[in-house]
Chains A and B, each alone.
Chain A
């Protein structure tokens, strides 16, 4: 994956396949601590401890279209290749929490990339509620899909609404001024 925002999109697909209806995405960048952290949690069906231990293995997957499952191992590798860390916590019925942390100025850290593109794609095709929070050195941008749905109802997936949302997110991402 060329961007961390693509890993995030991939994890949202995992959450949806786990039956989640609510997903929280939190990105925290702190220059003082030289750290970028991505935390994704959901209210999906969760996993037992054996499954949690197995998902970082590329030769584990729950699907049957192919024999490898690369989403989680790729994110883990992306974090570890730049002195970061990766944790996943879950139990049956309790959803899951994935935290990937990166050394902000590490030469091998993938750029965050476009969260506007990732969130536009998520809103366009997934019927889930998203709580999005992006903090950069104390400046915060928060987006609640429930708030947007309150304003525009089911039309949230209309292509023109998606274009508007994408531009709106892009503006606010620029304002918090995170790493690209």
Chain B
């Protein structure tokens, strides 16, 4: 069983990791979490992104929710604000979410094929 002692130790480990590394820029990810987003799978999208950010040990990444964007038919929608640009991705399932974290958030390459305009 997991114990709260583990949680205390983990906190010590991550405390310094929330600070940005030198030369690193903040990345802000927005996940649409309205009824339409959730019904289309936004929970799995969000959790996959959190897992990938944790697995890669990325710092300076924040994830915020937003309600319905009025593009329900293109949910789950994810917006990535990184490297000075704003990119909106449509139909982001868990697998796409993981690739967006490694290619766009970490490496800075926009995945053009999944981009949508609003």
**A residues near B, CB below 8 A?**
1, 6, 9-10, 13, 16-17, 63, 65-66, 69-71, 74, 117-118, 120-121, 124-126, 148, 151-153, 155, 157-164, 166-168, 171
Contacts and interface: CB of A to CB of B under 8 A. Distances in A.
Contacts of B61: 159
Contacts, number: 102
Contacts of B64: 125
A164 B10 contact: yes
B52 to A, nearest CB: 8
Given A13-B38, A66-B72, A155-B11, 20 more contacts: A1-B39, A10-B35, A10-B38, A13-B35, A65-B68, A74-B35, A118-B43, A125-B46, A152-B10, A152-B11, A155-B15, A157-B63, A159-B50, A160-B13, A160-B17, A162-B54, A164-B7, A167-B2, A168-B2, A171-B2
B53 interface: yes
A155 B53 CA distance: 14
B2 A66 contact: no
Contacts of B6: 164
A158 B44 contact: no
Q: Contact residue range for chain B?
A: 35 or more
Interface string B61-78: 101110111101000000
12 contacts: A10-B38, A63-B67, A65-B67, A74-B35, A125-B64, A151-B11, A153-B11, A158-B14, A159-B61, A164-B10, A167-B2, A168-B2
A157 B50 CA distance: 10
B117 interface: no
Question: When A and B form their complex, which 9 residue pairs have the shortest distance between CB atoms, in order from nearest?
Answer: A159-B54, A65-B70, A152-B11, A71-B35, A125-B65, A159-B53, A168-B2, A158-B14, A160-B54
Contacts of B39: 1, 6, 74
Interface string B37-57: 011000110110011011000
Nearest to A156: B11
Report which residue of B10, B50, B70 has the largest number of chain A beta carbons within 10 angstroms of its beta carbon.
Answer: B50
B116 interface: no
Contact of B38 (A6, A65, A66, A168): A6
